[in-house]
Structure 1
Amino acid sequence: MNILGLIPARGGSKGIQGKNIQLLGGKPLLQYSLEAARKAKLLNKVILSSDEEDIIQIAKQLEIEVPFKRPENLAEDSSSSLEVVQHALNFYLKQGINFDAVCLLQPTTPFRKPEFIDECILKFKDGNFDSLVSVREVPKEYNPHWVFEENEGALKISTGEKEIISRRQDLPKAYHRDGAIYLTKTEVLLNENSLYGKNIGFVDITPFPYVNIDTPEDWKKAEEILEKMRDKNNVGD
């Protein structure tokens, strides 16, 4: 299976100015995703998609391939990840280059391991899924069976059940996307116009360090995680 690794890094971040090239632990944020993608064994090509010249130049200094400059209309707050991935695929299709799937690696979730990327790809292939996403378990108190929605001034259980599950032990596991990995077949992306399709696989990475950087508070959390990771790696030195 021919898989394109795609790192999306637009320049218009509002929560943290210049987020994708801000230094985290002495390295531009996007470099973490680049290094993990390079070390992964099952990605056939890794590229960066950006509309911002400063980001493109830094990416080239890091020797990441930047085959095009993303159009401005695909770098707005309202632009979707699906549109960004489709743009990259169509760029290569015009050159007669086909990929079977795309692995989207967002810089805002920097602490993914190369082995994790390969694990996801192997499960994606073996399960013949339309897509596969990385997930984390939802804490019990936020389980959808214990979550309520407003209904004409009253509350109803979000799952539509009439009776609430009373015991924590009886709650089924629930997951949320963490943004680290999105793997999708090209035919689903282009023909179904979807990032997911109908048959969605998943890999649970709850035990691993996690942050999805969007705010200054998230950035501070990323710095704290990085410090803990470094302390752990230095044990016994």
Structure 2
Amino acid sequence: MNQQPRTKILAIIPARGGSKGVPRKNIKELGGKPLLAYTAEAALASNLISKIILSTEDEEIMKVGKSCGLDVPFQRPSELAQNQSGSLGVVQNAIQFFENQGEYFDAVILLQVTSPFRLKGFIDQAIQKFIQSDVDALVSVLPVPHEYNPHWVFETDENDNLKISTGEKQIIKRRQDLPKAYFRDGSIYITKTEVIKKGSFFGKKLSYIESNPDIYVNIDTMDDWKKAEEMVLDFART
């Protein structure tokens, strides 16, 4: 029986030096180790990732990344490490670096340091679903609480009156009748390389995998950091 060729996946862990909400958060110690270490360990435990790299412009973060077992094949250009810099440019830069060396990947998985808690095997579950679903991209999500469901959310119109955000004329009355809604939790983004090259993380066909809400934190502020500190011991037991 002929085996399907393995999908080549590049994992990129982005970690720039500047951070206003939590200064130096990417290498700040959480539970006795740098925040970066949690994402590094999760990536290195994957059986389906072909290559794992750290993308940073910061020399200290480079050293910490290498101590966590990460490859740091290049220093990210400073123009891709500003407050306004988006992740898309960071990923495109990494793809171009490897293609200039004759190395090509079918897809990229972006693993953000600010979402440190991932259950064992979660990354490979996401990759397997991405491959089997034959989609452009897959993201990790969590359910939107029903009170914030877009069918129950209002926007203002040109007269400063409220209208249902979905454009419906009548509101859905019962919670049980609301369609499921999700928000990106920031833990995993997987996208075909060809889609990223065209300037999108999501493409036209987007799939999803649900994260565990019990270990959700996306660190942007000191309040988020305090939440992570409260959760880290419980996560260590999972």
TM-score class normalised by the smaller sequence: over 0.9
Amino acid at match of 2:23: Q
Of the structure 1 ranges 220-229 and 36-45, higher mean CA displacement relative to structure 2 is found in 220-229
The separation in 1 between residues aligned to 2:120 and 2:132, in whole angstroms, is 19
Which of 175, 182, 185 is 1:178 aligned to? 185
CA distance in 2, matches of 1:3, 1:35: 17
The 5 A counterparts of 1:72-111 are 72-111=78-117
Taking the aligned partners of 2:137 and 2:24, their CA distance within structure 1 comes to: 30
Preserved CA contact (<8 Å) 1:37 1:114 = no
The number of aligned residues is 231
Q: Which runs of 5+ in 2 are unaligned?
A: 1-6
Give structure 1 stretches of 5+ with no counterpart.
Answer: none
Amino acid at match of 1:50: T
Q: 1:153 deviation in Å?
A: 1.1
Q: Partner of 2:4 in structure 1?
A: none
* Post-superposition offset of 1:229: 3.0
Which position in structure 2 is the counterpart of 1:196?
A: 202
* Cα RMSD for the two superposed structures: 1.0
Distance 1:37 1:181 in 2: 11
CA contact (8 A) 1:137 1:206 kept: no
Post-superposition Cα deviations, 1:160-194, rounded to whole Å, max 9, x if no partner, equal 0000001011001100000000000000001x211
Instruction: Report the more deviating stretch, 138-147 or 108-117.
Output: 108-117
Displacement after TM superposition at 1:208 (Å): 4.1
1:132–1:200 contact (8 Å) kept in structure 2: yes
Tell me what 1:5 maps to.
11
**2:21 aligns to what SS in structure 1?**
coil
Compute the displacement of 1:150 (Å): 1.0
Write the letter of the residue equivalent to 2:163.
K
Q: Secondary structure at the match of 1:86?
A: helix
When normalised by structure 2's length, the TM-score is 0.95
Which residue, out of 187, 190, 213, partners 2:194?
Answer: 187
Q: Report the Cα offset of residue 36 of structure 1.
A: 0.3
Q: TM-score, normalised by structure 1?
A: 0.95
Please say if residues 47 and 66 of structure 1, whose CA atoms lie closer than 8 Å, have aligned partners that are also in contact.
Answer: yes
Distance verdict in 2 for CA 1:87–1:114, change over 3 Å: farther
Q: Distance in 2 between matches of 1:34 and 1:215?
A: 21
Equivalent runs, 1:1-237 vs 2, <5 Å? 1-151=7-157, 152-190=159-197, 192-230=198-236, 232=237
**Rounded Cα–Cα distance in structure 2 between residues aligned with 1:7 and 1:208:** 23
- In 2, the alpha carbon distance for the partners of 1:157 and 1:170 equals 16
Aligned 8 A contact 2:117 2:235 in 1? no
Quick one: distance in 2 between partners of 1:161 and 1:147?
Answer: 11
**In 2: Cα distance, 1:64 partner to 1:123 partner:** 25
Deviation at 1:206, TM superposition (A): 4.2
Q: Is the 8 A contact 2:118 2:187 kept in 1?
A: yes
Name which of structure 1's ranges 108-117 and 155-164 shifts more when overlaid on structure 2. 108-117
Moved over 3 A (4+): none
